[in-house]
Amino acid sequence: MTILTVSGSLEVFAQIDVLTGGGLGTSTTVLVYYLYQQAFRFNDFGYASAVSVLLFLIVLALTLVQWQTRKRWVFHEA
């Protein structure tokens, strides 16, 4: 459950954009919103691409951890 919550929090963009517009300094900045700012506000597409690869690796690692530990959580009755 923790892994699902963490990976879900990595995908938060619309809520931050609508509610704060990325304001309040950097207190509401998450990786996805940072990626958006670098690409579309600062026009630094190369850096945004590198950040997106980092985001992909984080989500991949969390997915692999969840995939390996799912055998402990799911029990099939015959």
More confident residue, 4 or 68: 68
Structure tokens of 58?
A: 């984080």
Rounded to a whole number of angstroms, the CA Rg of the chain reads: 16
pTM given for the model: 0.74
| pLDDT at residue 25 is higher than 70 | yes
Contact 22, 28 (CB under 8 A): yes
Binning pLDDT at 50, 70 and 90, where does residue 3 land? Answer: low
Q: What is the mean pLDDT of the chain?
A: 83
Instruction: Decide if pLDDT at 69 tops 80.
Output: yes
Domain ranges of the chain: 2-73
CB 13 within 8 A of CB 36: yes
Q: At residue 13, what is the residue type? A: F
